[in-house]
Structure 1
Amino acid sequence: GSAWNPALTAGGSSGGAASGLGTHMLPVADGSDMMGSLRNPGAFNNVIGFRPSVNVMSGTESVPRALSTSGPMGRNTADTIALLDTIASICLDGDFNALDLSTSKFAWMGNLDGYLAMEDGVLDLCEASLNQVAATGASVEATTPLFNFNDLWLCWTTLRHGGRASMRRYWDDPETRGLLKDDLAWEIQQSMSITAGDKSNANRIRQAWDRELDRLFNQYDFLVWPTAQLFPYDKNTPWPTQISGRSMDTYHRWMEVVMYASLGGLPTVNVPVGFDAQSRPMGMQVMGRYGEDKKVLEFALAYENITDFLDARPNLVAAS
């Protein structure tokens, strides 16, 4: 469970790693991130999770960019940087110094003008933290990408389901089919109906999203979203079927907010934004232009200097 309440989920898929960091049982940890698996657990455990640009870990460029990459997590940004320096294929040259926030421009995406369902309190915590950023002299502006987000979700699910085609052999084999988790079995089945035309359309939408990201980064240094659309929930719940009264039509729809960085291959850091009235942690994800990993991490260093969320410690039960 979460470092802050073992009855609640630690997030995933690197939830155990993040919980270990949050309880100080681990100094650093690593994981992979396709759909927020470094960022979501970071938010649910009040620690740092960093998804690098996709070439940093692999050392190679691919077209289109891979949707998934490995990356580091830490109890603070300095530790996260130290682990990244150890495991990355591409060295981020030079010393890391806290960014001068007063010269930076942030685009706050919020819930995309109501498109994304959000649990009450998530946006409030993020906006309060952005107010602290703005108090340094930074520009923080609410905006929304000029894009059809339903198209983007179609793009995402097509590419994600298509990636499950490599697992079809486990579905086809009667001896392994019953071992598949229901959600994975469903995705494998979805992959069977994807056509070449579907893939072509998804790639066209993704290219258009890349162009929109370029437009945004010509105006802003960083794009900011909440890291999760709801707070940590009962760990025995398979997945949230509703958020604030809105039904989730797939097992991963509640994580839609993390796909925007994944589709662009962007360097993205989860930083904590505090706790709700039930002491449940939340974070926000701050994204930089592709290849500007150092700048994103230097933002996180500066953010630590103006906030104290990482100083908080969960109440742990003494071993008997």
Structure 2
Amino acid sequence: MNHSVDHSVDLDRRTKRPVNPTGDVNPTDDLCFRTAFELSAALARREVSAREVVTAHLERIERVNPTVNAIVTLVADQALEQAADADERMAAGQPVGPLHGLPVAHKDLHDTAGIRTTYGSPIFADHVPDRDHLVVQRLRDAGAITIGKTNVPELGLGSHTVNPVFGATRNPYDLSRSAGGSSGGAGAALACGMQPIADGSDTGGSLRNPASFNNVVGLRPSPGRVPSWPDKAQWGQLSVKGPMARTVADVTLALSVLAGPDPRDPRSLERPGSTFAWQLSDDIRGLRVAWSPDLGGAVPVAPEVRDALAPAVEVFSALGCEVEDACPDLSGADEVFLAQRAWQVELVYGALLDEHRHRMAPDVVWNIEQGRKLAGPDLGRAQTLHGALFHRVREFFERYDLLLLPVSQVAPFDIDLAYPTVVDGTPMETYLDWMRSAYLISVTGCPALSVPAGFTPQGLPVGLQLVGRHRQDWSLLKAGYAFEQATRVGERRPPVVSA
């Protein structure tokens, strides 16, 4: 597989970042907060070496990670060896990939050959896989250099990153707050400049929620856009793999590597990843945009989140879009999500419960037992509801090009809480309820993007969720890029990096 490409030609048009007339790297710039496109261009022009890029990120990790706890397994020596090898290949004129020399810490749910992968569980505290997950393999094939693993909740269950193996990941904008989850370690690492891109996964919001909480970008691609292997739920449509980064353009760059068919995943879409390597445009004039701050009253949303997102409507209007209040009919979406998720959790982790119940957190046990309560008619009803939901959403997107709503119903919450128990005066009965604004979108099958959109008065990040038409990931990314360029909210760095 040859990923050789020179990104330097389109760098300025794609990122809209000013450079000096010679295009040289300013030695006073912070390598750790350059975009992946900027780093890729500098590496391609040999203005900076892969070893220098990796070293800078390792130094940032050494300084900031003890406070934030985003990266839980570090392979610094291995990363430096890979960087040296990458520099030698570049010097020899050998083809290099689009992610050549870029450091990446992989989500601790994704297997990494020869590198500890714990899934945040004491059961797997010393587990070392003998093969890479497909998303890891594709990133490595594209030239990315593995520097470690990012923290997750126990077995990836939940949107608050804490587990008995490594503890909690802290929000870099307020260390007393949650970094979200389940890709919380990835989100915090991006916000702190520990890596320029990240991989993640999303069932009920696990790419979008930590992106919102950490002021970065997270894409839940269309099911099948990023193939998954190995995967026990091979035909499921609820869980997807996807990219995170600090900018929409960098998410698109990562998607161009991660996307594309694989014969081992029966869900994988045929469109090659290279089709996402085109230049993004910020011209979205004429789009018909629906705005729903609470999905038509279906979900409670904290006032500070509503207030932070209200200006988003004006931004899209200023960009030439037709914006109005509207939302699809999501009747039955709750039942569909809860049934499918419970079935999937039991399928993947049920055998562990029989042998290791005493080593599992109560919420993990509850998740698996919910799956065991399901009967055939329960799953059959969920399938019927799901089909009807699909067609209602399809008809909604015949009238609109884009749906806007909050990513999360709350701002980052107290790190010592298991989950928010009340949202805008409404009690949350389970630890899933406070993420309905994300998981109701999961069951639509539509791609969804979290983009930095604002801050609460306490300085906590709030993301805007953009939902696109079925399988229209590119159009969604284009809309997110236009909003990002108009607002630049994602450029606000967390206090912890300058402390």
State how far apart, in whole Å, the 1-side matches of 2:186 and 2:354 are. Answer: 33
What letter matches 1:48 in structure 2? V
Residues 3-61 of structure 1: per-residue CA shift (max 9 Å, x gap): 2112110000111111111111211111000111110000001110011111111189x
Residues 113-142 of structure 1: per-residue CA shift (max 9 Å, x gap): 322111112122222112111112211111
Equivalent residues of 2:334, 2:440 under 8 A apart = no
Q: Decide which of 93, 96, 100 is 2:283's aligned counterpart.
A: 100
Task: Give 1:161's aligned residue.
Answer: 342
Matches within 5 A, 1:77-226: 77-89=248-260, 90-91=272-273, 93=275, 95-148=278-331, 151-166=332-347, 167-173=349-355, 176-226=356-406
Equivalent residues of 1:38, 1:50 under 8 A apart = yes
Moved over 4 A (4+): 62-65
State how far apart, in whole Å, the 2-side matches of 1:164 and 1:6 are. Answer: 31
Deviates more, 1:272-281 or 1:130-139: 130-139
1:242 CA displacement: 1.0
Q: What SS does the corresponding residue of 1:145 show, helix, strand or coil?
A: coil
Assess, with a 3 A threshold, how the Cα gap between structure 1 residues 141 and 65 changes in structure 2: closer, same or farther.
farther
Equivalent residues of 1:40, 1:227 under 8 A apart = yes
1:202 CA displacement: 0.6
1:74 aligns with 2:245: yes
What letter matches 2:351 in structure 1? R
State how far apart, in whole Å, the 1-side matches of 2:246 and 2:327 are. Answer: 31
1:205 CA displacement: 0.9
1:144 CA displacement: 2.8
What letter matches 2:239 in structure 1? S
Task: Give 1:25's aligned residue.
Answer: 194
Matches within 5 A, 1:199-278: 199-278=379-458
Q: Structure 1: which 5+ runs fail to align?
A: none
Equivalent residues of 1:108, 1:143 under 8 A apart = yes
Task: Give 1:300's aligned residue.
Answer: 480
1:39 aligns with 2:222: no
Cα root mean square deviation, aligned: 1.9
Assess, with a 3 A threshold, how the Cα gap between structure 1 residues 138 and 92 changes in structure 2: closer, same or farther.
farther
What letter matches 2:208 in structure 1? R
What letter matches 1:227 in structure 2? V
1:92 CA displacement: 5.1
Equivalent residues of 1:99, 1:295 under 8 A apart = no
Equivalent residues of 2:412, 2:461 under 8 A apart = yes
Task: Give 2:496's aligned residue.
Answer: 316
Deviates more, 1:276-285 or 1:301-310: 301-310
Assess, with a 3 A threshold, how the Cα gap between structure 1 residues 245 and 101 changes in structure 2: closer, same or farther.
same
Deviates more, 1:96-105 or 1:211-220: 96-105
Assess, with a 3 A threshold, how the Cα gap between structure 1 residues 92 and 220 changes in structure 2: closer, same or farther.
farther
Task: Give 2:225's aligned residue.
Answer: 56
Equivalent residues of 2:192, 2:497 under 8 A apart = no
State how far apart, in whole Å, the 2-side matches of 1:200 and 1:37 are. Answer: 26
Equivalent residues of 1:8, 1:233 under 8 A apart = yes
State how far apart, in whole Å, the 2-side matches of 1:233 and 1:202 are. Answer: 32
Task: Give 2:104's aligned residue.
Answer: none
1:262 CA displacement: 1.3
Q: What SS does the corresponding residue of 1:100 show, helix, strand or coil?
A: coil
Deviates more, 1:35-44 or 1:160-169: 160-169
What letter matches 1:235 in structure 2? I
Please give the TM-score of this superposition, normalised by the length of structure 1.
Answer: 0.93
Q: What SS does the corresponding residue of 2:382 show, helix, strand or coil?
A: helix
Q: Structure 2: which 5+ runs fail to align?
A: 1-169, 261-271
Deviates more, 1:71-80 or 1:104-113: 104-113
Residues 232-258 of structure 1: per-residue CA shift (max 9 Å, x gap): 011111111111221111111100111
Assess, with a 3 A threshold, how the Cα gap between structure 1 residues 103 and 317 changes in structure 2: closer, same or farther.
closer
Residues 154-174 of structure 1: per-residue CA shift (max 9 Å, x gap): 22111111112222222222x
1:64 CA displacement: 6.9
Q: Percent identity?
A: 32
State how far apart, in whole Å, the 2-side matches of 1:56 and 1:317 are. Answer: 34
* Larger RCO (CA within 8 A; separation ≥ 6): 1
State how far apart, in whole Å, the 1-side matches of 2:239 and 2:320 are. Answer: 35
State how far apart, in whole Å, the 2-side matches of 1:11 and 1:82 are. Answer: 24
What letter matches 1:106 in structure 2? V
What letter matches 1:75 in structure 2? R
What letter matches 2:192 in structure 1? T
What letter matches 2:353 in structure 1? W
1:214 CA displacement: 0.5
